[in-house]
Amino acid sequence: MIEELKKLQVKLFADGADLAGMLEMYSKPYIQGLTTNPTLMKKAGITNYEKFARDVLLRISDKPISFEVFSDDLNEMVIQAIKISSWGSNVYVKIPITNTQGISTLPIIETLTQENIKINVTAIMTVDQVKEISIALNSAVPSYVSVFAGRISDTGVNPIPTMIEILQVLASNKNAEVIWASPRELLNVFQANEIGCHIITATNDILTKLKLLGKDLTEYSLETVEMFHNDAVSAGYSI
């Protein structure tokens, strides 16, 4: 597995909100950063946003990590972003591309990056959105652009042409890195790598499949047959 990972140019980020799981992934040298979001935090049972984030940052201070604003008001988003950014030098603040009313957040993206706040623009799914973002970003400040390739593929559309075009749009901004977000399978890691995507962020259930890299498929086939057989026996099935 390690040799296969060494061949990758794309950076692997871990996406989650379970502290134990985050720390497990953080401890692995091939995980170069972490991301989370309010939905993952809710699923993990997080009730105190700031306490959770600060607890994470006490343990993870040397790899980039993204925390998201959650206000629907643009002015309040700015206030939240400034506060979140103050929690650590490795923090990127996730800003959704619009609020729930479809109002663009481009003005506050421009404001925040002019204040040298590192941001992660999230929930992106179109090239046009990225073209607008490219104008608002401060090229002197590191930023991430999270494109939800997995959700694009959920609609029956191949996300790769979109991802390639987005990489081209941002090519002149050397401080802007494109994240392949919401991957659906481990194969997406290699697809992201092949097109030159900077980062892919994946949940632990996908990242744990890295142990399968290079696995002999004949052996894997036999293990699958054994699983079906053992489950049938343990269930006591008969015909």
In whole angstroms, give the CA distance from residue 126 to residue 162.
Answer: 7
Position 2 scores a pLDDT of: 66
Instruction: Tell me the Ramachandran region of residue 156: left when phi exceeds 0, alpha when psi lies from -120 to 50, beta otherwise.
Output: left
Output the six-digit token pair for 144. 């991430």
Q: How far apart, in Å, are the Cα atoms of 198 and each of 170, 171, 209?
A: 11, 11, 21
pTM of the complete model: 0.95
- What is the residue type of 79? I
Position 32 scores a pLDDT of: 98
Query: Tens digit of pLDDT for each residue in 136-173?
Result: 999 999 999 999 999 999 999 999 999 999 999 999 99
> Following CA atoms 157, 160, 166, 172 in sequence, which dihedral angle do they give, to the nearest 10 degrees?
-170
Beta-bridge partner residues of 35: 15, 66
The question of whether 43 is a catalytic residue gets the answer no
- What is the residue type of 29? P
In whole angstroms, give the CA distance from residue 81 to residue 79.
Answer: 5
Position 77 scores a pLDDT of: 98
3-state secondary structure of 94: strand
Report, as ranges of residue numbers, the positions in the chain whose pLDDT lies below 70.
1-2
In whole angstroms, give the CA distance from residue 47 to residue 32.
Answer: 27
CATH number of 2-214: 3.20.20.70
- Residue 166: Cβ-neighbour burial (10 angstroms; 0-12, 13-18, 19+): buried
Query: Phi/psi at 93 (nearest 5 deg)?
Result: -95, 120
Position 156 scores a pLDDT of: 98
If one counts every other C-beta atom within 10 angstroms of the C-beta of residue 5, the result is 14
Output the six-digit token pair for 182. 């919401």
Instruction: Answer whether 157's CB lies under 8 Å from 134's CB.
Output: no
- Of 63, 94, 118, 174, catalytic: 94
Alpha-carbon Rg for the chain, nearest whole angstrom, is 20
Pairing of strands 199-203, 11-15: parallel
Position 4 scores a pLDDT of: 77
Position 122 scores a pLDDT of: 98
Instruction: Answer whether 228's CB lies under 8 Å from 43's CB.
Output: no
